[in-house]
């Protein structure tokens, strides 16, 4: 995902920040964010004095993160959440925005959880945001698109629909770009979230040496569904 689309579709989301602040305030040691993007969460926490490392598979997003983290206790590294080795432990590992559900298989999730367990301090905690199911449709005004303007170019991303099937949730967005000259181009972007509920995540985490440590919630907004945040700790 390019930086501009990441910013348009994810950069304005704030409903989960209070929870990450709370967890960071209790953490003993540095914080690791998986799928950090351009730093929506990590830089927010760094501005509040927390030392944060972000990990993302897209080098363009990591570069944008680095530009924004100047003079802050935050760094970003390019890496795959399924296979990473950072050489140190963290007091808190965060995975916002349904990162686990973007992974293609149960085996990929296991590899990610194993990496998390290997990087988690003895008294540390990991937190994974997931969406178990979509809420029932509610009558109301149509959603407005998420937009960004960069150097005279306007980028608009409008949620079109979300389909639930046995595999999970497929979310489609209409992406439109308007050039400074007024030329319009558009494409449909689809993101698939694999089916996963909190109980299944907690059960699967045991194979990685992690145990359940509670659940929290992120409330829905007018434009975003709510999330369940599954908390995990290292097995004693």
Are 171 and 190 in contact, with CB atoms under 8 Å apart? yes
Quick: pLDDT tens for 42-65. Answer: 999 999 999 999 999 999 999 999
Helix (H, G, I), strand (E, B) or coil at 2: coil
Residue 28 has pLDDT above 60, yes or no: yes
Distance CA 77, CA 94 (A): 15
Are 113 and 204 in contact, with CB atoms under 8 Å apart? yes
Residue 206 has pLDDT above 80, yes or no: yes
pLDDT at 138: 47
Is the CATH code 3.10.520.10 the one for domain 3-133+195-234? Answer: no
Distance CA 213, CA 143 (A): 36
pLDDT at 141: 58
Q: Where are the domains of the chain?
A: 3-133+195-234, 146-193
Residue 194 has pLDDT above 90, yes or no: yes
- 121 or 171: which leads in pLDDT: 121
Residue tagged 């995990």 (tokens): 232
| Cβ-based neighbour number of residue 16 at 10 Å | 23
**pTM for this one?**
0.91
Distance of CA 115 to the CA centre of its chain: 17
Quick: pLDDT tens for 107-141. Answer: 999 999 999 999 999 999 999 999 987 655 545 55
Q: Which fold has domain 146-193?
A: N-terminal domain of TfIIb (2.20.25)
Residue 14 has pLDDT above 50, yes or no: yes
107's CB contacts (< 8 A; 6+ apart) are none
Give, in order, the Cα–Cα distances in Å from 73 to each of 52, 69, 230.
6, 8, 26
**DSSP code for 63:** H
Question: Beta strand pairing status for 146-150 and 90-95?
Answer: unpaired
- 26 or 167: which leads in pLDDT: 26
* Confidence bin at 168 (pLDDT 50/70/90): confident
- 11 or 186: which leads in pLDDT: 186
Quick: pLDDT tens for 77-102. Answer: 999 999 999 999 999 999 998 999 99
Residue 10 has pLDDT above 90, yes or no: no
Quick: pLDDT tens for 140-160. Answer: 556 788 888 999 999 999 988
pLDDT at 227: 93
Residue 1 has pLDDT above 60, yes or no: no
Q: Please check whether the two domains, 3-133+195-234 and 146-193, share a CATH topology.
A: no
User: In the predicted model, what is the mean pLDDT of the chain?
Assistant: 92
């Amino acid at each position: 995902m390019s930086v501009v689309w990441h910013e348009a579709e994810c950069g304005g989301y704030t409903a989960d920040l209070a929870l990450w602040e709370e967890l960071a305030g209790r953490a003993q040691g540095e914080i690791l964010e998986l799928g950090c993007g351009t730093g929506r969460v990590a830089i927010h926490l760094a501005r509040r004095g927390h030392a944060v490392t972000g990990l993302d598979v897209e080098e363009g997003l990591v570069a944008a993160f680095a530009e924004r983290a100047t003079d802050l206790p935050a760094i970003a590294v390019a890496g795959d959440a399924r296979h990473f080795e950072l050489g140190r432990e963290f007091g808190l590992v965060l995975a916002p925005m349904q990162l686990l559900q973007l992974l293609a298989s149960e085996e990929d999730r296991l590899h990610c959880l194993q990496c998390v367990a290997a990087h988690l301090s003895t008294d540390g905690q990991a937190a994974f945001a997931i969406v178990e199911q979509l809420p029932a449709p509610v009558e109301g005004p149509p959603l407005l698109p998420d937009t960004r303007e960069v150097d005279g170019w306007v980028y608009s991303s409008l949620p079109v629909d979300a389909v639930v099937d046995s595999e999970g949730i497929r979310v489609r967005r209409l992406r439109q770009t308007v050039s400074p000259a007024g030329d319009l181009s558009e494409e449909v972007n689809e993101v698939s979230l694999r089916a996963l509920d909190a109980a299944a995540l907690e059960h699967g985490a045991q194979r990685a040496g992690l145990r359940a440590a509670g659940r929290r919630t992120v409330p829905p907004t007018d434009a975003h569904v709510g999330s369940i945040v599954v908390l995990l700790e290292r097995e004693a």
